[in-house]
Structure formats: structure tokens, C-alpha cells
Amino acid sequence: MTVPVATTAESDVTVRDVEYVERALIDASTRLPVLFFYGSAIAWLLLGTLLAGLTSWKLHAPDLLSNISFLTWGRLRPAHMNVMVYGWASMAGLGTAIWLMARLCRTTLRHPLLLIGAAAFWNLGVLLGVGGILAGDSTGYEWLEFPPYAAVVLFIAYSLVVSWAILMFRFRRGDHIYITQWYLLGAFLWFPWVYGAAQIMLFVVPVQGVMQAAVTWWFANNLLFLWFGAIGLGTAYYMIPKVIGRPVYSYHLAAVGFWTYALFASWTGMQRMVDGPFPAWMITASIAATILTVIPVATVGLNHHMTMRGYFGLLRYSPTLRFTVFGAISYTVFSLIGVVLSLRSMAGYVHFSEASVAYSHMGLYAFFTMTMFGSMYYIVPRLVGREWRYASLIKLHFWSSTYGVGLMVLMLLVGGLAQGVSLHDPTLPFTESTESILPYLRGRSVSGVLLTVAHVVFAFHFGLMLFGLGRTASVPTFLNPKEEEALEARL
């Protein structure tokens, strides 16, 4: 009688122990490359924030530093954007994606040092690219301003990373492929095609005339949706169920969401060129695709919401959950605003206004960046073996990011509308439109102060973790003091 009971208990402990050790081993194998990707990303984030501040400030103080060629507004703006896109967002996304891939494939990362090489190459590529832009070597294609010599380096770095990710996938244990893996695999395979095709069609065998713009915007929107969007959504699909300890509400919904997303989001590129010099069907097709992205948005949103139902109270405690849920909600808002902005009746007003900048920031910041912050708050403690030092700093980071990006998007959307309405009325002088947006641009600069605070605080906190100054504790850092019993009761 006693013997079987003892055996069961013993084997239970063993299985849990094995899984625990296995996870620890996997985390340890990803430790150096992921931290290197994260550290570089945060360094680029700080530089990008500085460039963003200059870009924003110079819009209402045009003569500031304008007699220095490499600080002219028209070079700072693409430098800022590319630092954020390729330096911060891509590197943070890659770090998270590598870690998630290793965890979900239940396999250790083999030869992690080579990935550090890849990250170094990536840094070199971004450095060359940004240097090139500031030195006056920009290609002049939006989102692709990096000169080809930098793009080549980036591509080499990328090939290394993707080979590692695919290798991990090849050596995965278990038949089941989790939702996050669909998105990550998609992102890893879409990126080289999108980036490679754009580079080849613009610089190697260049297409003619306006087709260059078609390639550029096809690239830009696919980078936004199929690269950043896929990594962001995949991360959310991992983090939300993981933190609340509950499976995803519906696999079926997730599949519908994934495939409709891949199908429709990839067609949205020409939405950026409404009524431009293209065959009308191209633009109409993209507008239709943008409208259809409501389907994946609704399914993904519903799925997250149903997973979270009854657990929203946890947002009070978990930094990861708070950032990730903010990102997931922003994804819905971002997509719906995209639909509204792309409609022809609306585009007549807001096209060519700052509203498009608001749209990009919603996608890249409110959705993607916030999701990445969330994943970093989850992953970094597992890599360094310490917990985040100060709950107050996390809170400060969250709120200044939230208010910062909220204020920025609000200012740019409302300002863009004011600008667009003035632009639309031909009886008003042109300068009326630039005058009408100036107050909003000043407001946007104020939002930049908040974002700067957020990023500096986060970088400082990350630095503490990196140098082993985190807390040594067995429980994670909660945003608010948590009474264990109260939480248990809630659960």
C-alpha cells in the first residue's frame, strides 16, 4: 500500500526537477547572445532617443544646429528611424525570438558564441548605416536609407541568426508546434525575402520609376507587419498565458488569426501611397487588405482577452503582463487607426500629414516596443539569475512610456488632422498648414521628455541587472507588494 504512493511522489518530484533543470540549462545556453542582443538594443534605444529628440525639436526650431551638415534635420530623421528600426527594435526582437525559440523547442542553443558574432555584425551594420546616413550617403528610400554596404553587413548577420533559429527548430523536442513558433518561424523566413527582395530590386537590378516606391512601401509595411508584428504577436502569445499560468483560450482562433494575418497584412503596402501615381487597383487592393486585417486583429484580440478573462487583476503585479497587455491592446488600436487612415475619404485629408508618423509610432512603439519591454522584464532575470532591483523604477518606466507614447500619438493624430484639414482647403495659404501643426509638434517634443525618462530609467535598471546588482530572491519583483494569500484567493 505504501510502496506505490511513495513511488508516485518520488517520480513526480523527479519530473519537475528534470524540467526545471532542463529549462535552466536552456536559459543558460542562451544567456550570452540574448544579453548581448538586449544590451546592444538598449544602447541603440538611447542613441535613437537622442536623435528623436533632436528631430522633434528642430521641427519647431529649424535653425538649431542647422549649419552642421550631419546634423541637418533631413539626415537626423532617417538616422533616428533606422536606429530605432534596425538597432533597437530588430535587436530586441531577435534577442527575444532566440530565447523563445530555445524555450519552445526545448533544446539548448548550440555554439552560442557564434550568435554573439552575428550580433556584433548586426551592430556593425547599423553603425555603418547610421554613419552613412549622417555623412550624406542615404539611399533616399524611406525605411531603406542604409547605404548598400551597411545592408550587406546586416544581411550577413541576419543569415547567421536565422540559421541558428532554424537549427534549433530542427532539433526541437516534441511534435507540437506552439503558436509563438508559427509567428517566429514566419518572421524568420519572411524577413530575408522582404529585405533581400527590396535590396535587389532597388540596388542590384533596379526597377523603373514609381516601382521603386512600390517596392519601398511593400518592404516597409511588411517589415512592420511580418517582421515586427509577427515577433510582437508571437511574444504576446507566449507571455500572457505563461505569466497567468493558463493555456491560450483557443488554438483554432489562433490559427485563423495567424493565417489571415499573413495573408492580409502582407498586402497593405500601397496604403501608404493613396491616390499616388500608381494604377488605382494596387492602392485599392492595399486598402481592401488593410480593412481585412480587422479579421486577424479581432481574432487575436479576442483570444488574448478570453485568455486573460478573470486574471486582469494580475496586471497590478506583473510588469511583464502589464507591458505585454498594453502592447496587445495597442496592436488592436494601431490596426484600427490604420484602417481609418487608409480609407480614401479620410486619406484625402490626412495623407501627407503627421498622422502617418503617429501610425508608425503606434506600431513600432505602443505595440512592438512595449511588448519587447514586457518580454525583457520576463527574460532578463532568468538569464542573469537575479530579480529586478526596484519595483519603483519599473513603475516609473511603465508610466512614462505609456503617457509618453500616448501623448505623442495623440498630438500627431490631432495635429495631423489639423494640418490635413488646412492642407485640404486650397484657399488657405500653404504655411497655414505648417502653422496649424506647430503647437502639436511642440507637444510631441514634451512627450519625448517622458519617453527619454522611461528609456534612461530602463537602461539604468538593465545595467544593474547586467552587473549582477539585481535582487537575490526566489520570487520575482512585483510592481505592488503582493500578499500571497490575497493573490491565491483571487486565482
Partner 1 sequence: MKGIVPLLLGIFGTLAFSWAGLILIPNYQIGHLDPQVDEDGNDPYPAPKSGMANRGRRIYAANGCVYCHSQQVRADYAGSDIDRKWGVRRSAPRDYLFERPVQLGQMRLGPDLSNVAKRAPGEEENAAPAASPTPAGPATPQASPATKPAPGASPSMPPATASAPPATSPAPSSSTAVAAASPSPAANAASTAGTADAAHGNPPLYTAAWHHRHLYSPRSLVLDSNMPNYHFLYEKRRITGERAADALKLDERDAVPEGWEVVPTYDAKCLVAYLMSLDQSHPLKEVKATAAPPSSAPATSPAAAASPAPAPTKEAK
Q: Which residues of 203-232 are buried (b: 16+ CB within 10 A; e: fewer)?
A: eeeeeeeeebbbbbbbbbbbbbbbbbbbbb
Alpha-carbon distance 304 to 320, whole Å?
15
Q: Which residues, numbered 406-425, are part of the site for partner 1 (CB under 8 A)?
A: 423-425
**Is 390 a binder of partner 1 (CB under 8 A)?**
no
- Contact between 206 and partner 1 (CB under 8 A)? yes
Q: Which H or E run contains 279?
A: none
Minimum distance, C-beta of residue 341 to partner 1, in the bound complex (Å): 11
User: Measured between alpha carbons, how far is residue 94 from residues 180, 221, 325, 377, 490 in Å?
Assistant: 14, 19, 20, 15, 35
Applying CB under 8 A, does 342 fall inside the site for partner 1? no
What is the closest distance, in whole angstroms, from the C-beta atom of residue 61 to partner 1 in the complex? Answer: 9
Compare residues 400 and 422 and give the one whose CB is closer to partner 1.
422
Instruction: Specify the residue, 108 or 266, whose C-beta has the smaller distance to partner 1.
Output: 266
| Strand partners for 471 | 387
- Give the range of 33-41, 209-217, 361-369, 400-408 binding partner 1 by CB under 8 A: 209-217
- Which is closer to partner 1, CB of 97 or CB of 213? 213
Residue count, binding to partner 1 (CB under 8 A): 85
CA dihedral sign of residues 371, 98, 381, 490: positive
Q: Considering only residues 186-205, where is the footprint of partner 1 by CB under 8 A?
A: 186, 189-190, 193-194, 197, 201-202
The residue from 43, 156, 167, 211 that contacts partner 1 (CB under 8 A) is 211
Which of 50, 114, 116, 263 binds partner 1 (CB under 8 A)? It is 263
Among residues 272, 242, 284, the alpha carbon closest in space to that of 350 is found at 272
10 Å CB burial of residue 93 (0-12, 13-18, 19+) is buried
Among 128, 185, 409, 453, binds partner 1 (CB under 8 A): 185
Q: Interface residues for partner 1 in 1-30 (CB under 8 A)?
A: none
Cα end-to-end span (Å), the chain: 35
From candidates 223, 228, 244, 354, binder to partner 1 by CB under 8 A = 354
- Tell the smallest beta-carbon distance from residue 458 to partner 1 (Å): 28
Chosen residue from 46, 124, 262, 329 binding partner 1 by CB under 8 A? 262
Letter for the amino acid at 48? G
Q: Which residues of 338-368 are buried (b: 16+ CB within 10 A; e: fewer)?
A: bbbbbeeebbebbbbbbbbbbbbbbbbbbbb
Selected from 4, 6, 15, 63, the binder of partner 1 by CB under 8 A is 63
| Residue list 133-172, contact with partner 1 (CB under 8 A) | 136-142
d(CA 92, CA 86): 9
443 touches partner 1 (CB under 8 A): no
**Which member of 353, 401, 447, 477 binds partner 1 (CB under 8 A)?**
353
Interface with partner 1, residue 213, by CB under 8 A:
yes
d(CA 58, CA 80): 13
Q: How far is the CB of 427 from partner 1 (least distance, A)?
A: 8
- Answer positive or negative: Cα dihedral of 222, 226, 227, 233: positive
361 vs 52: CA distance, rounded Å: 12
Which of 32, 160, 438, 456 contacts partner 1 by CB under 8 A?
Answer: 438
Query: Cell numbers 504577436 label which residue?
Result: 233
Regarding 426 and contact with partner 1 (CB under 8 A), the answer is yes
For partner 1, the binding residues in 79-138 under the rule CB under 8 A are 136-138
Residue 388 neighbours by CB under 8 Å, 6+ apart: 319, 377, 380, 381, 394, 461, 465, 470, 471, 476, 477
Give whichever of 1 and 170 is closer to partner 1, judged by the CB atom. 170
CB of 489 to partner 1, least distance (A): 37
Q: What is the nearest approach in angstroms of partner 1 to the Cβ of residue 412?
A: 12
The CA–CA distances, whole Å, from 180 to 145, 233, 341, 367 equal 31, 8, 29, 16
247 binds partner 1 (CB under 8 A): no
